[in-house]
Structure 1
């Protein structure tokens, strides 16, 4: 069957989610969830690699990309339930999930609360508790007052190693521009969700296969964060790759190899 590419949106009472699908719907589903301040285009190297063997689903997290920006503070529960609604919309009973940073927190929440809907969960460059609540509240206040430009101007140093920034300036500029052009209110709402999100006491409930991917140069969610998560989750696997925070873009071949090995596929 030929590779199919399709984009659409779902609308609930609360949010309109933009998504794209790639590949054969009869294959196993693999859904990707973006990081804070990015959109589904961040997964292009993963889409290209996995669409031959999986039914790939990418979506823009609420207030990101072409998804809508509901008013009010967000919660991790809402971010997770958005994924469940998308799977229901696509009539997918069970999928594998891969999320990075904020998307990785969403993946942890899904593994805790909806294990029956997922074969495996991959969480990259994330932690059970990312950063400190006050820092997220301060960032939310900053972007509401000054917009996203100040955050976008410094994002590259958090996202990538200096070598990658120097060698891939166009990629870095495109991602920074996407961040600057996003919804300041939606970004602030997600910061407030991250301020409250803390799954440290619940990780032990996870009993489905989990792969944790950590960037060896990640200043935001460190290898130590990944090691701690591995200790809490029964039978979790940990893979370290030579990258900073947005590891799927900085080291796509290593990132994809980790996923292929974990999912047991040969592409």
Structure 2
């Protein structure tokens, strides 16, 4: 079973947080601080990331979503809100399509219905299997977070990069292969879950126009751009994200 952490009131509605490629559940420390007073927050590590076991790849998004369902069944959680970043957002789309009756709301951050340049993902997987995740650490500043953030919050930027350094080569590569084969563009109209889609204004990995395709495909989905942020805006601009997410979850409750 994948590694997880649970915070917040045991009798509250559950909010599941799915991390991005190369990070672990610590990506969401600011969401726990801002949201775990009102929701029971469940965070998890992807295969081969953080404290989760290293499983030989390749993986599929269906495999990774099944890991989440297995975890929630273990915890006795039937229905839940879900927020995912990047590959975590792809997992969220899969959950909404295949386990939609269990999903109360969906929040997708810096993700895609099909990620850009699918052929480059197996190439990146091969690079990391040969050289380890250290081979790509230097490319993450400016992609994961803006240069301004790195200068303003160097300790936090380094904490995020340390997650990548600690990620197993096989876990990272297997997830790359899952990203490269993911494509639900033709299926999004079947999503009936109340959905909020967020994009980083300065994100080169999943630029706003790519992320917007998710919102355009899901009936009645809301789309917002997070100013002054790159790919990991849950960590770079948590005050904006937490406010948007709390509003989204609360609107569902009031409805």
**TM-score w.r.t. length of structure 1:** 0.91
Matched ranges for 1:124-203 at <5 A: 124-203=109-188
Matched ranges for 1:52-63 at <5 A: 52-63=37-48
Q: CA deviation at 1:223?
A: 1.1
Determine helix, strand or coil for the equivalent of 1:25: coil
Q: CA deviation at 1:178?
A: 2.0
Match of 1:98 among 75, 79, 83: 83
Q: Which has the higher contact order (CA 8 A, sep 6+)?
A: 2
Is structure 2 residue 238 aligned with structure 1 residue 258? no
Match of 2:231 among 230, 241, 245: 245
Determine helix, strand or coil for the equivalent of 2:203: coil
Poorly superposed stretches of 4+, deviation over 2 Å:
none
Q: CA deviation at 1:201?
A: 1.1
Match of 2:57 among 66, 72, 77: 72
- Cα distance between partner residues in 2 of 1:259 and 1:119: 13
Q: CA deviation at 1:175?
A: 1.5
Task: Give the match for residue 32 of structure 2.
Answer: 47
- Cα distance between partner residues in 2 of 1:148 and 1:72: 15
2:45–2:51 contact (8 Å) kept in structure 1: yes
Determine helix, strand or coil for the equivalent of 1:27: coil
Q: CA deviation at 1:157?
A: 2.0
Is structure 2 residue 211 aligned with structure 1 residue 230? no
2:57–2:173 contact (8 Å) kept in structure 1: no
2:50–2:166 contact (8 Å) kept in structure 1: no
- Cα distance between partner residues in 2 of 1:127 and 1:78: 18
Is structure 2 residue 162 aligned with structure 1 residue 215? no
> What is the RMSD of the two structures over their aligned residues, measured on CA atoms?
1.2
Determine helix, strand or coil for the equivalent of 1:17: coil
Q: CA deviation at 1:227?
A: 2.1
Q: CA deviation at 1:200?
A: 0.9
Flag structure 1 segments of 5+ consecutive residues without an equivalent.
1-15
**TM-score w.r.t. length of structure 2:** 0.96
- Cα distance between partner residues in 1 of 2:160 and 2:9: 29
Q: CA deviation at 1:164?
A: 0.6
2:142–2:230 contact (8 Å) kept in structure 1: no
Post-superposition CA distance 1:21-70 (Å, at most 9, x none): 01122110001010000000110010011111111101111111000011
